[in-house]
Chains A and B, each alone.
Chain A
């Protein structure tokens, strides 16, 4: 079976600090890491490989230094990796990203399963997985917490919903997005790290594809960010003091005033 794992580089911290004087964002020493949700996708792919055999390719779109993160994926047990990197891809929103990944997937050719993290921790959109499935014309199962069975042409998963869990069966090939419930990612072995370091990661640019130029990068992105700002949590906070009895009394009184109690 052939598996493609889509991964993204994100900042190690999503803390955003504001310089109170200049009113601008401070981002000192931003280290980059593999999106945490994607590490679960990689781990799951490796588990499938160990259980029933698979060829795993990691795929990412990003800046040239993402090669190092893809080597990290190889050190964990991924067989090979491809980076899509070009200034022309920069500024892509989720739609342009999905299209660019589609090009990458199609260049790999044959595949049975595409694994993605549920979302990336910088954008938090959770949109690229389902969009990729749609542009490829294949089904998807999102928020998967457990893969129950993989047959020759189907996959059976347990997915989380707002109301509980569903067991869902999909034909293959399919896109599966995974939650952190699915496994505990391993650390690379020493041999793995050597293999990762030695791994050659091909970098593909826009020139390597016959693509629709109006669907990539900033100008190919339907959505545009018009402004960003740090949210203020300026809340008129009221401290309810006293003994536990008095605190409880005060709270019930407040909730009643706000009509937040049903009686």
Chain B
């Protein structure tokens, strides 16, 4: 069992470890540091101590030989026979990681009908594509998709698998990781290779975006991560790229879960997960009438409509449009926040947007701290102006 202890003879009670502990799990009692029950063995205190008075012992566990794992994989999620943008973004980043590791990029395509999309994946950066296309895979299914992915990984042994941190991705990836008994890092916003150790460094927000953590998976393979949509740029499509397409036989295993019906949010226009532009409404829009203005602006810009929690709680927009820690996370090219105050929980869901525009009558609203363009003013005056001018230049 791993353990941590304070060596009393060395501890001088300087409290440096107390402030280094992210979990408030150290107290000074009788001028000696005492580690409390809520310690997570993170080791921050060990590094902070100048007197080597804290000792963290981590059990050595025998691990499988991981040197046989090679290649960077991307799960290319589809919806209704179309690739989701996030898969293409991940192919671009996978190319970068693969270059650092001197290896290849492989895309895994599961669904129906999806066969025709394989060539597109090659054009966006895949060197190989595994395709499992069968009518039984038409609806996303955690179980059958996990069966296919896990058995393919066991045969091919990739060192890295990246998946979009979409609703499906975040449901499916943990099952795959658990089946393979490997590590999975959720909702990453940064990925790089440590050139010395060759390990994948996965950076992600925690505590509702208040803290960033960099995570590694040193002893288990593959190293798996779900990655927030919109964080990485898609490579330009290159029709001249060549690659190999491998079709997989699909066993029709009986499944325990079936999709009975699907209701798409057509009334909301563009889906917020894939949207390049999002216009989001916050409580500062003041009246449900102004939701109409937000919708009109969104439609004009080909944008999706987003909402803060307050607006959803007021019933002005549905929960499916809620952006933030308790809603959805998005990473569009352009995010226009109208009357959104910018509570940290909201920022957690959208701060990786490339360009952020904030419109708010309160010049002290926290949203302005993350906004590239700040417009202080009344949205009921500003939005009609924007709409009229956009219509004029269109």
Q: Which of B22, B201, B348 has the most CB of A within 10 A?
A: B22
B302 to chain A, nearest CB (A): 6
Within 8 A of B (CB), among A217-258: 217-231, 233, 235-241, 244-245, 247-249, 251-252, 254-255, 258
Checking A87, A134, A166 against B174 with a beta-carbon cut-off of 8 angstroms, the contacting residue is A134
Say yes or no: B214 contacts A218, CB within 8 Å: no
* A156, closest chain B residue (CB): B260
Say yes or no: B215 contacts A124, CB within 8 Å: no
Checking A14, A30, A64 against B208 with a beta-carbon cut-off of 8 angstroms, the contacting residue is A14
CB neighbours (8 Å) of A37 from chain B are 326
User: What number of A residues sit within 8 Å (CB to CB) of B?
Assistant: 103
Within 8 A of B (CB), among A19-75: 19, 22, 24-28, 30, 36-37, 63-65
* A93, closest chain B residue (CB): B183
Say yes or no: A261 contacts B212, CB within 8 Å: no
Q: Residues 59-71 of chain B: 1 if any A CB is under 8 Å from the residue's CB, otherwise 0?
A: 1111000000000
* B18, closest chain A residue (CB): A24
CA distance A251 to B297 in the complex (A): 13
In the complex, identify which listed stretch (A76-84, A105-113, A139-147, A188-196) lies at the interface while the others stay far away. Answer: A139-147
Q: Residues 126-170 of chain A: 1 if any B CB is under 8 Å from the residue's CB, otherwise 0?
A: 111111011100111111010000000000100011111111111
Say yes or no: B375 contacts A166, CB within 8 Å: no
Say yes or no: A126 contacts B170, CB within 8 Å: yes
CB neighbours (8 Å) of A161 from chain B are 167-168, 262
CB neighbours (8 Å) of B24 from chain A are 27-28, 30
* A124, closest chain B residue (CB): B206
Which range holds the interface residue count of chain B?
35 or more
CB neighbours (8 Å) of A125 from chain B are 186-187
Say yes or no: B171 contacts A142, CB within 8 Å: yes
CB neighbours (8 Å) of B167 from chain A are 142-143, 160-162
Whether, in the assembled complex, B394 has its beta carbon less than 8 Å from a beta carbon of chain A, the answer is: yes
CB neighbours (8 Å) of B377 from chain A are 244, 247
CB neighbours (8 Å) of A126 from chain B are 170, 174, 186
Whether, in the assembled complex, B95 has its beta carbon less than 8 Å from a beta carbon of chain A, the answer is: no
Whether, in the assembled complex, B103 has its beta carbon less than 8 Å from a beta carbon of chain A, the answer is: no
CA distance A262 to B326 in the complex (A): 31
Within 8 A of A (CB), among B1-28: 1-3, 19-24
Whether, in the assembled complex, B233 has its beta carbon less than 8 Å from a beta carbon of chain A, the answer is: no
Whether, in the assembled complex, B209 has its beta carbon less than 8 Å from a beta carbon of chain A, the answer is: yes
Checking A122, A163, A249 against B265 with a beta-carbon cut-off of 8 angstroms, the contacting residue is A163
Say yes or no: A230 contacts B210, CB within 8 Å: yes
In the complex, identify which listed stretch (B113-121, B128-136, B281-289, B363-371) lies at the interface while the others stay far away. Answer: B363-371
B346 to chain A, nearest CB (A): 13
CB neighbours (8 Å) of A167 from chain B are 259-263
Say yes or no: A237 contacts B372, CB within 8 Å: yes
Checking B184, B219, B357, B393 against A251 with a beta-carbon cut-off of 8 angstroms, the contacting residue is B357
Say yes or no: B3 contacts A87, CB within 8 Å: yes
With contacts A16-B211, A239-B376 known, is A163 near B171, CB below 8 A?
Answer: no
With contacts A217-B1, A220-B61, A225-B215 known, is A236 near B320, CB below 8 A?
Answer: no
With contacts A127-B184, A223-B185, A236-B372 known, is A252 near B215, CB below 8 A?
Answer: no
Say yes or no: A131 contacts B178, CB within 8 Å: yes
Checking A36, A134, A226 against B214 with a beta-carbon cut-off of 8 angstroms, the contacting residue is A226
Q: Which of A127, A206, A261 has the most CB of B within 10 A?
A: A127
Checking A131, A206, A231, A252 against B393 with a beta-carbon cut-off of 8 angstroms, the contacting residue is A252
In the complex, identify which listed stretch (B154-162, B236-244, B245-253, B269-277) lies at the interface while the others stay far away. Answer: B269-277
Q: Which of B39, B213, B347, B375 has the most CB of A within 10 A?
A: B375
Q: List 5 A-B pairs, minimum CB-CB distance, nearest first.
A: A222-B183, A91-B41, A162-B273, A134-B178, A223-B183
The contact sample of 9 A-B pairs, CB cut-off 8 A, is A30-B24, A122-B206, A124-B206, A127-B177, A165-B320, A169-B257, A179-B326, A231-B211, A255-B355
Chain A residues in the interface with B (C-beta under 8 A): 11, 14-16, 19, 22, 24-28, 30, 36-37, 63-65, 87-88, 90-91, 93-95, 98, 121-131, 133-135, 138-143, 145, 156, 160-171, 174, 179-181, 206, 213-214, 217-231, 233, 235-241, 244-245, 247-249, 251-252, 254-255, 258, 260-263
